[in-house]
Amino acid sequence: MDRIKVAQRVGQSVRLVAKTALLVAMLASALMASAARAALEYNLQPPVTPIGEQIFDLHVYIMWICVVIFVGVFAVMFYSIFAHRKSQGHQAAQFHENTTVEVVWTVIPFLILMFMALPATRTILAMKDTTVPDMTIKVTGYQWKWSYDYIDQGFGFFSNLKTPYTQIYNQEPKGEHYLLEVDQPLVVPAGKRIRVLITAGDVIHSWWVPAFGVKQDAIPGFVRDAWFRADKPGVYRGQCAELCGKEHGFMPVVVEVLPADQYAAWADAQKKKATAAADDPARIWDVKELTARGEAVYTANCASCHQATGKGVPPAFPPLDGSKIATGPVAAHLDVVLNGVVRNGQPTAMVAWKNTLSPTEIAAVVTYERNAWDNHVGDVVQPSQVAAAGK
């Protein structure tokens, strides 16, 4: 008789859970299409790729499964506490080694896991399928910037933080896209399947664009891959998602998706620019040419820290105008630009540029720094000197 009563009570509890779960599921299905997407500012970023859509839907689906479990478990618990309290004369039931109970609490979790695992596995397999891309781009993380190489089209560039340090140090109001803006974003065509090969040149980074549903670690010595297809033109922002050093928070990811015709025009301009920048390292440059070229290199790579005026942002970023480096021996100046500055065994914000800039660009920027502002040293540094110093 005791076993029959226990089985009856278990059956009642299971039916109550089933009814509660059905009610919550009906409410969830009515709300998923509206409420889940109506307040996206409190949720994941709006997805713009097929993988992003799957991840968002999976997130909402599993969240509602958790809600059903939460409501069901606490409904049974509170019902049991209220309806079977001691003041009503109930005695605690003993059902040790009850076969029915053990089957129920084994089968139900198994089914829940299956309902979660099947769509999750489908999404993961879709994320890892990088076959048949329309174009391939190599992404390399550095301290603290990204480089993009368009393997199929023969050009590439570096993408640096554009937010001025005057905003970072609260010397002027912060902009709309504070710490999420770059001087040159990754540009891709809309509606194309883009494969990204992701690696790093120094430490572990992570390339992350939430709206794309793409987050992949960039590991030195390894090449990982991912893919996305953004059908809607626009600008999408992300960040490095792996702690990679003191400037970790200053290496955003910005992807601009263009219509096919606009992308074709942009790519053509980039190819011409890459061809023009393919300098002969043995060429002897005129001081005016080097200075003009150096000013452009300085503006793109150095001005965010040392400022366009060369005054820097002391003490974090020392001035170059009148500095001992920019007015002292050329060899010491080249060494700082090529190899960066290391203090107490740790790299500073002044990173090594030898893997980022060409010998001509380094020669140009050093020449510019030694002759700009009040630094009228008169030195002219040729690419061959840079190449020799970098060996």
DSSP state, residue 220: B
* Residue 256 and residue 151 in contact, taking contact as beta carbons nearer than 8 Å: no
**Minimal CA–CA distance to 203: which of 224, 186, 222, 184?**
222
Torsion angles phi and psi, residue 211, rounded to 5: -65, -25
* Residue 196 and residue 186 in contact, taking contact as beta carbons nearer than 8 Å: no
**pLDDT by 10s per residue, the chain, length 391:** 444 554 455 455 545 545 555 554 555 554 554 444 444 467 788 899 999 999 999 999 999 999 999 999 999 899 988 888 878 878 777 767 778 888 888 998 999 999 999 999 999 999 999 999 999 999 999 988 999 999 988 888 889 998 888 888 888 899 899 999 998 999 999 999 999 999 998 899 999 999 999 999 999 989 999 999 999 999 999 999 999 888 899 999 999 999 999 999 999 998 887 776 666 677 888 888 888 888 888 888 888 788 888 888 887 788 888 888 888 888 889 888 888 887 766 666 777 888 778 888 899 899 998 998 988 888 889 888 888 887 6
Chain-centroid distance of CA 139 in Å reads 11
Domain with CATH 2.60.40.420 in the chain: 135-277
Domain with CATH 1.10.760.10 in the chain: 287-389
Cα distance between residue 8 and residue 14, in whole Å = 10
Tell me how crowded residue 141 is: count the other CB atoms within 10 A of its CB.
Answer: 27
Cα distance between residue 135 and residue 154, in whole Å = 12
**Minimal CA–CA distance to 372: which of 277, 281, 316, 302?**
302
- How many helices (H) and strands (E) would you count in the chain? 12, 12
**Minimal CA–CA distance to 196: which of 268, 267, 253, 148?**
148
Tokens of 103: 């089957």
Chain-centroid distance of CA 80 in Å reads 48
Vertex 315, ends 314 and 316: CA angle to 5°?
95
Q: Indicate the CATH number for domain 287-389.
A: 1.10.760.10
Give the pLDDT confidence score for residue 205 in this predicted structure.
96
**Minimal CA–CA distance to 35: which of 13, 67, 74?**
67
Tokens of 365: 């920027």
Tokens of 54: 């799957």
Give the pLDDT confidence score for residue 347 in this predicted structure.
67
Adjacent-strand bridge partners of 196 = 137, 226
Q: Indicate the CATH number for domain 135-277.
A: 2.60.40.420
CA distances to 171, 173, 185, 219 from 164, in Å: 10, 11, 16, 28
